[in-house]
Structure 1
Amino acid sequence: MFKSLTLLSSFVALTAIAQDRKPTTPTPASPGTPPPAAAAPAPAKTGPKAYKEVITDKSKTTKGLFIVHKIEEKYFFELPDSLMGKEMMAVTRLSQSSTTPGSVGLPAYGGELLNRQVVRFEKGPENKVFMRAVAYINVSEDVNSPIYKAVRNSNVDPIAMAFDIKAIRKDTSTVIEVTDFFKGENAVISMSPVVKQAYKLTTIQTDRTYIQSIKSFPLNTEIKVVKTYGAIPPMPTPPSPVPSPIPSVNLPASSIAGAVTMEVNTSFIALPAVPMKQRLFDIRVGYFANGYRVYGENSQRTDDKTFVVRWRLEPKNKEDEARQRRGELIEPKKPIVYYIDPATPEKWRKYLKMGVDDWNVAFEKAGWKNAIRGVILDEKDTTVSLEDARNSAIRYFASDIENAYGPNVHDPRTGEILESHIGWYHNVMKLLKKWYMTQAAAADPRARKNKFDDELMGQLIRFVSSHEVGHTLGLRHNYGASTATPVEKLRDKDFTSKNGHTSSIMDYARFNYVAQPEDGVTDFFPRIGDYDIWAIEWAYKPIYDTKTPEEDKVILNKWYKEKALPNRRLWFLTETNPYDPRAQNEDVGDNAMLASDYGIKNLKRIVPNLMTWTAAEAEDYEMLEEGYNEVVSQYRRYLGHVTKYVGGIYETPKSMDQEGAVYEPTPKKLQKDAVAFLNQQLFTTPTWLLDANVLGRIRPDMGVDFVSKIQEATLTSLFAADRLQRIIEASEKTAGAYTLDELFTDVRGGIWAELKTRKATDTHRRNLQKIFVERMTATLNLPSVPAFGGTATAKVFGAVLPPAADPRKSDIQTMVRAHLTILQNEIQTAIPTTADKMTKYHLQDCLFRIKKALDPK
Structure 2
Amino acid sequence: MKYWIRKLVICIFLLYNWLLGTNYAAANQLANNDVPPFHAITAMENIASADNIFSDSRREDLRRFREIVKATEKLEGLFTLYRSHEDGRTYWEIKPEQLNRNYLATVTLESGLGESGIYSGLPLTDFLFYFRRVNNNLHFVVRNVKFRTEEGEPEQRSLTRSFSDSVLYALPIDTIDPWSKNILINLDDLLMQDFPGLTPILKYSLQADYRLEPSKSYFGDINSFPENLEIDSIYGFYSPEGANLVTLPDSRALSLKVHYSFSQLPENNGYIPRIADDRVGYFITAFQDFSHNHSHDPFVRYINRWHLEPSDPNAPLSPPKKPIVFWIENAVPLEYRDAIRAGVLMWNQAFAKAGFQNAIEVQQMPDDADWHPADVRYNTIRWFNSLDAGFAKGPTRVNPFTGEILDADIIVDANMVRSIQQEYRAYAESGNSKSKLDGCDVAGFQRDSELCYGREATNQAAIGALALSLLPDTTPTSAAMQEYVQQYLRSLIAHEVGHTLGLRHNFHGSTMLAPQELNNTEITHSKGLAGSVMDYLPVNIAPQGVEQGDYFPGVIGPYDEWAIEYGYKINPEATTDAILPEAEKSFLEKIALASPQPELSYATDEDIWDINPLANLWDMSSDVLIYSQWQMDNARVMWERLDQRYLAPGESYSNLRALFNRVLGYYFRNATLVSQYIGGQSFRRVHAGDETSWAFVPVSLEKQRQALAKLQEYVFAEDAFNFSPQLLNQLAPSRWQHWGNPIPNDRLDYPLHDRILQFQSRVLRSLLNSDRLSRLQDIELKTQPGKALSIPELFETLQQGIWTEVFTPAEPKPISSLRRSLQREYLNILLEMMLRNTNTSEDGRTLAWYELRQLQTAIDNRLKDLGENIDISTLAHLQVTSDRITKALGIRD
User: What TM-score do the two structures reach when normalised by structure 1?
Assistant: 0.83
Secondary structure of the residue that 1:453 maps to in structure 2? helix
Q: Quick one: distance in 1 between partners of 2:673 and 2:817?
A: 27
The amino acid across from 1:193 in the alignment is P
- Cα deviation for residue 655 of structure 1 reads 1.8
Secondary structure of the residue that 2:222 maps to in structure 1? strand
Greater Cα offset, 304-313 or 435-444: 435-444
Match of 1:340 in 2: 328
Secondary structure of the residue that 2:285 maps to in structure 1? strand
Distance 1:171 1:677, change over 3 A: farther
Match of 2:200 in 1: 193
Match of 1:120 in 2: 130
Secondary structure of the residue that 2:105 maps to in structure 1? strand
Q: Quick one: distance in 1 between partners of 2:62 and 2:833?
A: 79
User: C-alpha deviations, 1:383-418, integer Å up to 9, x for none?
Assistant: x32121111111111223322121112112122111
Q: Quick one: distance in 2 between partners of 1:153 and 1:185?
A: 30
Work out which of the residue numbers 699, 703, 708 in structure 2 matches 1:675: 708
Match of 1:559 in 2: 591
Q: Quick one: distance in 2 between partners of 1:684 and 1:116?
A: 53
1:305 aligns with 2:292: no
Q: Quick one: distance in 1 between partners of 2:414 and 2:680?
A: 38
- Cα deviation for residue 330 of structure 1 reads 1.8
User: C-alpha deviations, 1:648-691, integer Å up to 9, x for none?
Assistant: 12211112333522123222221111111111111113555524
Give structure 2 stretches of 5+ with no counterpart.
1-54, 420-457, 733-748
Q: Quick one: distance in 1 between partners of 2:478 and 2:802?
A: 39
Task: Judge conservation of contact 1:78–1:173 (CA < 8 Å) in 2.
Answer: no
The amino acid across from 1:284 in the alignment is R
1:395 aligns with 2:427: no
Q: Quick one: distance in 1 between partners of 2:860 and 2:330?
A: 73
Q: Quick one: distance in 2 between partners of 1:496 and 1:548?
A: 40
Match of 2:744 in 1: none
User: C-alpha deviations, 1:237-260, integer Å up to 9, x for none?
Assistant: xxxxxxxxxxxx63644x627321
- Cα deviation for residue 433 of structure 1 reads 4.4
Q: Quick one: distance in 1 between partners of 2:750 and 2:297?
A: 63
Work out which of the residue numbers 754, 758, 764 in structure 2 matches 1:715: 764
Match of 2:185 in 1: 177
The amino acid across from 1:723 in the alignment is R
Match of 1:694 in 2: 727
User: C-alpha deviations, 1:616-647, integer Å up to 9, x for none?
Assistant: 55331333222221111111111110111111
1:522 aligns with 2:549: yes
Q: Quick one: distance in 1 between partners of 2:855 and 2:59?
A: 88
User: C-alpha deviations, 1:768-798, integer Å up to 9, x for none?
Assistant: 21111111111223357xxxxxxxxxxxxxx
1:666 aligns with 2:699: yes
Q: Quick one: distance in 2 between partners of 1:604 and 1:448?
A: 20
- Cα deviation for residue 174 of structure 1 reads 2.3
Distance 1:493 1:117, change over 3 A: closer
User: C-alpha deviations, 1:59-103, integer Å up to 9, x for none?
Assistant: 322222111222453222222333222212211212234x1x332
1:853 aligns with 2:888: yes
Task: Judge conservation of contact 1:442–1:517 (CA < 8 Å) in 2.
Answer: no
List aligned pairs for 1:98-497, cutoff 5 A: 99=113, 101-103=114-116, 106-109=117-120, 111-124=121-134, 126-140=135-149, 142-168=150-176, 174-187=182-195, 189-191=196-198, 193-199=200-206, 200-234=208-242, 250=245, 252-253=247-248, 256=250, 258-274=252-268, 276-296=271-291, 298-299=293-294, 303-316=298-311, 320-323=312-315, 327=316, 329-382=317-370, 384-400=371-387, 401-429=389-417, 430=419, 431=458, 433-438=461-466, 448=476, 453-492=481-520, 494-497=522-525
Percent identity over paired residues: 26
Match of 2:797 in 1: 746
Q: Quick one: distance in 2 between partners of 1:668 and 1:393?
A: 50
Task: Judge conservation of contact 1:48–1:127 (CA < 8 Å) in 2.
Answer: no
Secondary structure of the residue that 1:681 maps to in structure 2? helix
Task: Judge conservation of contact 1:201–1:229 (CA < 8 Å) in 2.
Answer: no
- Cα deviation for residue 169 of structure 1 reads 5.2
Work out which of the residue numbers 659, 679, 692 in structure 2 matches 1:647: 679
Match of 2:429 in 1: none
Distance 1:196 1:841, change over 3 A: closer
Task: Judge conservation of contact 2:391–2:416 (CA < 8 Å) in 1.
Answer: yes
Distance 1:564 1:649, change over 3 A: closer
The amino acid across from 1:259 in the alignment is A
Q: Quick one: distance in 1 between partners of 2:156 and 2:386?
A: 49
* Aligned residues between the structures: 761
Secondary structure of the residue that 1:654 maps to in structure 2? coil
Secondary structure of the residue that 2:198 maps to in structure 1? coil
Greater Cα offset, 845-854 or 742-751: 845-854
Task: Judge conservation of contact 2:193–2:214 (CA < 8 Å) in 1.
Answer: no
- Cα deviation for residue 186 of structure 1 reads 4.4
Match of 1:800 in 2: none
Distance 1:227 1:662, change over 3 A: same
Match of 2:877 in 1: 842
Distance 1:94 1:705, change over 3 A: closer
Task: Judge conservation of contact 2:115–2:247 (CA < 8 Å) in 1.
Answer: no
Q: Quick one: distance in 1 between partners of 2:252 and 2:828?
A: 51
Task: Judge conservation of contact 2:529–2:557 (CA < 8 Å) in 1.
Answer: no
Task: Judge conservation of contact 2:192–2:218 (CA < 8 Å) in 1.
Answer: no
Match of 2:5 in 1: none
Secondary structure of the residue that 1:292 maps to in structure 2? strand
- Cα deviation for residue 550 of structure 1 reads 2.6
Distance 1:807 1:95, change over 3 A: closer
The amino acid across from 1:112 in the alignment is L
Distance 1:350 1:322, change over 3 A: same
Secondary structure of the residue that 1:518 maps to in structure 2? coil
Match of 1:796 in 2: none
Task: Judge conservation of contact 2:61–2:177 (CA < 8 Å) in 1.
Answer: no
Task: Judge conservation of contact 2:175–2:185 (CA < 8 Å) in 1.
Answer: no
Distance 1:458 1:521, change over 3 A: closer
Q: Quick one: distance in 2 between partners of 1:344 and 1:504?
A: 26
The amino acid across from 2:385 in the alignment is A
1:730 aligns with 2:779: yes
User: C-alpha deviations, 1:783-814, integer Å up to 9, x for none?
Assistant: 57xxxxxxxxxxxxxxxxxxxxx535x41112
- Cα deviation for residue 725 of structure 1 reads 0.9
Secondary structure of the residue that 2:131 maps to in structure 1? strand
List aligned pairs for 1:18-167, cutoff 5 A: 45=57, 49-50=61-62, 52-53=65-66, 55-71=68-84, 72=86, 73-97=88-112, 99=113, 101-103=114-116, 106-109=117-120, 111-124=121-134, 126-140=135-149, 142-167=150-175
Distance 1:257 1:763, change over 3 A: closer
The amino acid across from 1:195 in the alignment is L
Q: Quick one: distance in 1 between partners of 2:314 and 2:76?
A: 37
Q: Quick one: distance in 2 between partners of 1:691 and 1:504?
A: 41
The amino acid across from 1:59 in the alignment is T
- Cα deviation for residue 535 of structure 1 reads 1.3
Q: Quick one: distance in 2 between partners of 1:269 and 1:843?
A: 73
Match of 2:738 in 1: none
Give structure 1 stretches of 5+ with no counterpart.
1-42, 236-248, 785-805
Distance 1:67 1:458, change over 3 A: same
The amino acid across from 1:385 in the alignment is H
Task: Judge conservation of contact 2:394–2:408 (CA < 8 Å) in 1.
Answer: yes
Distance 1:48 1:618, change over 3 A: farther
Q: Quick one: distance in 2 between partners of 1:447 and 1:335?
A: 44
- Cα deviation for residue 717 of structure 1 reads 1.0
